[in-house]
Structure 1
Amino acid sequence: MGAPSNFILPDGNVQIAFSGGRTSGKMLHDIIQANQPWPADRVKVVFTNTGKERSETLDFVRECEERWGVPIVWLEYRLRWTGAPHDPKNKIFDTGAHSFEVVSYETASRNGEPFEQIIEYFGFLPNRVADFCSHNLKSRTARRYCVASGWKHWTTAIGIRADEPKRILKKQPKERYRVWYPLNEAGDTKHDVSLFWLFQPFDLELLNIDGVTPTGNCDGCFKKSERKRAEFARSEWHHAEWWSAQERKYGGTFDKTTSWDQLHEYISKQGDWLFGDNDALCQRDGGECAPW
């Protein structure tokens, strides 16, 4: 685990990207500990809510804010129509203005409203190839907030560990901000993250397997393996149905192989026995098999 010096804030304005997960939570904690008194005039901790974050994630963000005494800015993407109604068939993309809204734990969307707005703007569903949801709902929303706050240049702290080298940008963005990876620089791995939370008086109330949260923060994310999505559909169809409703509305699928309705129908017919088979729902031939 890294020394406190690895978490000293750089000069100038700093945005700390808090995803609501354990890794970025540890990063936030270590930055707070290494920078007292807290320079609130130039640092903003930002959590961007898509409306499909798990309820445990929202509870965790609020508890971090309350226990650590550092304000967290809760943001949500907003689509502001500036012209005629959007027509996906004619690809009218210039009538919508991307914006944001500052919300709170109490007012945060819990039924996918921000997510629905970005889908409405593009007129089709995001997928592994056209992954426009995370970029627009999270990183771009946070940037718009920083610009609206009067920042011309800043540093963004991102919680990427030392055991995730492929996620590190090879070059700094050619924009008004630079990226800082304090956990990576400190040498922290998923084992360090897991050990850290083991000794804390509170934790994210989602399964922790050696520093990894299998369910993730986004409940039905299409980047998850089919097995994980199937388990989600079986145990929480009242939440998974949102994804199915979007597929029916736009006539497409989030995943190239199976729709949510098909997945739900298959599970309903097969019963629980298929989850005891390691090969069940495993897309080995497509190279997409992920460990449970």
Structure 2
Amino acid sequence: MKRVINFSGGKTSALMTILLKPTDDDIVLFTDTGREHPLTYKFIDDFEKNEGIKVHRVGYEHKRSPGLTGFDAMTNWKTHLPNRMKRLCTTELKINVARRYLRPLIGMKFEQFIGFRFDEPNRVKNYKHTYKGVYTKFILFDQKVTKEMVNQFWLTKPYTLEIPSILGNCDLCFLKGKDNIIKIMAMYPELADKWIEDERRANVGRKKKDGTFFPDVSYEGLLKIAKSQTSLFDLDKALPAYNCSCTN
């Protein structure tokens, strides 16, 4: 059976990929939202170069958003923005993109591997996959691999992901929580621009200005708070407010 290895661009999924020793028949799949930190893309380049493993990189496109990809393409034409309760970004940018890419290549019967660790039992327990013929495996959980073990592994390598884990995945994802977003904006205010533009675009033509990622505050408002901070924060200790299961 064909194997699909879900590669998020982080250290955990990269370790899982190495342990699986993919062959040319396997597909190491990175579904790119276009909102990753620049150093995540550098890490993927370094991974391919050092490990000799090809990463299939795919992204979302839509005919109503010519010339745009990923998150930009989705928010350019969607009438509402994703939020914690309606995570259309996961569906559109991850799940559907992966299905469209894989179906003509290998069909919809395969083993898929997801990098949930032993110290993430709730992610394993709550994972839901309803596609008949797709069999999901969590080898890091099965092998009792923890975050500390992942970090120790990358100390042995000549390259690594050079950002705190809170900056992984979409850089200012609403699932990180408002407090963490403020902390990140305080250090990297330039990351806010594209998210603010999403909200401005979503509010065009609306009588009620409710096109925001959070119901009670805009990203522009969060940026103002971040700029008022008198001290910076230790992002290495920051943890997402909500569980992110943005897997394929």
Which TM-score band applies after superposition, normalised by the shorter structure? 0.7 to 0.9
Q: 2: CA distance between counterparts of 1:254 and 1:182?
A: 34
RMSD: 2.3
Amino acid at match of 2:215: K
Change (3 A) 1:142 1:265: same
User: Identity across aligned pairs (percent)?
Assistant: 29
In structure 2, what is the equivalent of residue 282 of structure 1?
none
Change (3 A) 1:121 1:179: farther
Segments of structure 1 that go 5 or more residues without pairing to the other structure are 1-11, 33-37, 87-108, 208-212, 277-287
In structure 2, what is the equivalent of residue 70 of structure 1?
53
1:160 aligns with 2:112: no
In structure 2, what is the equivalent of residue 91 of structure 1?
none
Segments of structure 2 that go 5 or more residues without pairing to the other structure are 204-210, 234-240, 244-248
Q: Output one character per residue of 1:35-65: Cα deviation in whole Å (capped at 9) or x when no partner.
A: xxx5312x10011111111111101111111
Tell me which protein shows more helix as a share of its residues: 2
Contact 1:123 1:250 in 2 (8 A): yes
Q: 2: CA distance between counterparts of 1:178 and 1:218?
A: 26
Q: 2: CA distance between counterparts of 1:139 and 1:66?
A: 27
Q: Report how far residue 135 of structure 1 moved.
A: 2.5
In structure 2, what is the equivalent of residue 177 of structure 1?
134
Change (3 A) 1:195 1:123: same
Q: 1: CA distance between counterparts of 2:46 and 2:212?
A: 35
Q: Which has the higher contact order (CA 8 A, sep 6+)?
A: 2
In structure 2, what is the equivalent of residue 239 of structure 1?
191
Question: How does 1:194-233 map onto structure 2 within 5 Å?
Answer: 194-207=151-164, 213-233=165-185
Q: Report how far residue 185 of structure 1 moved.
A: 0.8
Amino acid at match of 1:54: H
- SS of the aligned residue for 1:230 comes to helix
Contact 1:215 1:228 in 2 (8 A): no
Q: Output one character per residue of 1:158-210: Cα deviation in whole Å (capped at 9) or x when no partner.
A: 00011111111566534231111111111111111111112211100112xxx
| Count of residues in Structure 1 that have an aligned counterpart in Structure 2 | 227
Contact 2:76 2:201 in 1 (8 A): no
1:250 aligns with 2:208: no
Larger CA deviation: 250-259 vs 19-28? 250-259
Change (3 A) 1:249 1:185: same
Q: 2: CA distance between counterparts of 1:258 and 1:184?
A: 37
Question: How does 1:1-292 map onto structure 2 within 5 Å?
Answer: 12-32=1-21, 38-41=22-25, 43-81=26-64, 113-169=69-125, 173-207=130-164, 213-251=165-203, 252-268=211-227, 270-273=228-231
Give the TM-score, by structure 1 length: 0.71
Give the TM-score, by structure 2 length: 0.83
Contact 2:82 2:213 in 1 (8 A): yes
